[in-house]
Amino acid sequence: MANTDVLDVAPIGPDQSEAVWPLSIEAGWNQNVADWRFMLEAGRGFGCRGADGRWEASSLVLPLGADLAWISMVLVARSRRRGGLGTTLLKCCIEDVRRAGAVAGLDATEQGRPLYLTLGFHDLYRIARWHFDEATETVEPPSGIRIRPVASADLPGIALYDRPRSGMERPAILAHLAGRQPGLAWVAQNDAGECAGFILGREGRAANSIGPVVADSEAIALALIGRAAHAVSGPFILDMPETHSRIGGWLERQGAVSPRAYTRMTLGEAEGLDDPARLFALAGPELG
Ligand SMILES: CC(C)(COP(=O)(O)OP(=O)(O)OC[C@H]1O[C@@H](n2cnc3c(N)ncnc32)[C@H](O)[C@@H]1OP(=O)(O)O)[C@@H](O)C(=O)NCCC(=O)NCCS
């Protein structure tokens, strides 16, 4: 162990958003204080402080309906790694999810995955993190599809549309994101006026984060991504299940690069979560 004085696990409340933020900055992650505040309000944070009172490790459980909860923001300060803090916090999150009677899911970095495998998580599919500065090509929606900005009256319908396609129940997250950056919030409708897809996003510490993107087809998803990326300036990040090669090709033509990947994992079985056929971008590894 790098350091033996492992401290007690303490809850991290929303008032600690700024105090805990340096952990995600040190890891080079994109969250800003608004992200931490939202997650700590909507979920339950657990962490460890050093002797000087600063947060040295964090973790978070975000409920996504009654049956599923997302574990995220598992961060240990560089100086305290390989000392058991990550495992301690993860076990605490798993216990919290078990008590709630839910299945735990997460998007693992390459660094986090070995730890999750030892605790019984299994892989669902891989996700590529894309970075790009701007969209140069415009994309027309398929015929019969109209794309327009999301209005607050659309939110209940978007949440209903999202639920079976993402496997997550997350109306509060969708409503939060729609308000965070309206320029990234678009809905696709078919001729009958029914929802055929949507895109949301948020500003971040270093880049605008695009996602979630949920749609009836890859063509609609691509049109939504193109519309959002033209409405707001970059740089952008986007986390896409690796199977969607047409969007991958478009991203490459915009000069996008994919320096890292995640693996979606669960501890137990969560219905609908293993099939990304209609899920074209995550809300982010921290939001599901
Ligand atoms: C991933 C992370 C949280 C691990 O925290 P930690 O406190 O160092 O983890 P632990 O000390 O509890 O490690 C437990 C075990 O996990 C495995 N493990 C942890 N980090 C590993 C690594 N980089 N490579 C291989 N195995 C690793 C080892 O089996 C380790 O046991 P050991 O040290 O006895 O060999 C930490 O490295 C970190 O904050 N990384 C950056 C952020 C990140 O990627 N978070 C994960 C998000 S999914």
pTM given for the model: 0.94
Query: What pLDDT shows up at residue 246?
Result: 95
Instruction: Report d(CA 41, CA 152) in Å as an integer.
Output: 21
Q: Which atom of ligand 1 is nearest to the CA of 108?
A: 48
Ligand 1 mutation target, pool 82, 85, 109, 265, most atoms within 8 A of CB = 82
Structure tokens at 268: 């137990």
CATH 3.40.630.30 in the chain: give the residue spans: 10-101, 129-281
Sign of CA dihedral 285, 73, 185, 259: negative
Query: What pLDDT shows up at residue 4?
Result: 41
Pairing of strands 146-149, 279-281: unpaired
Fold assignment, 129-281? Aminopeptidase (3.40.630)
Ligand 1 mean position, distance from CA 58 (Å): 13
Helices and strands of the chain, counted as H and E runs? 8, 13
**Helical segments of 5-84, H only:** 17-26, 33-42
Per-residue pLDDT of the chain (288 residues; tens, 9 = 90+): 444 454 599 999 999 999 999 999 999 999 999 999 999 999 999 999 999 999 999 999 999 999 999 999 999 999 999 999 999 999 999 999 999 999 999 999 999 999 999 999 999 999 999 999 999 998 999 999 999 999 999 999 999 999 999 999 999 999 999 999 999 999 999 999 999 999 999 999 999 999 999 999 999 999 999 999 999 999 999 999 999 999 999 999 999 999 999 999 999 999 899 999 999 999 999 999
Residues forming beta bridges with residue 265, ordered by sequence position:
106, 123
Ligand 1 mean position, distance from CA 113 (Å): 8
Q: Answer whether 234's CB lies under 8 Å from 208's CB.
A: yes
CATH architecture of the domain with range 10-101? 3-Layer(aba) Sandwich (3.40)
Instruction: Report d(CA 3, CA 83) in Å as an integer.
Output: 6
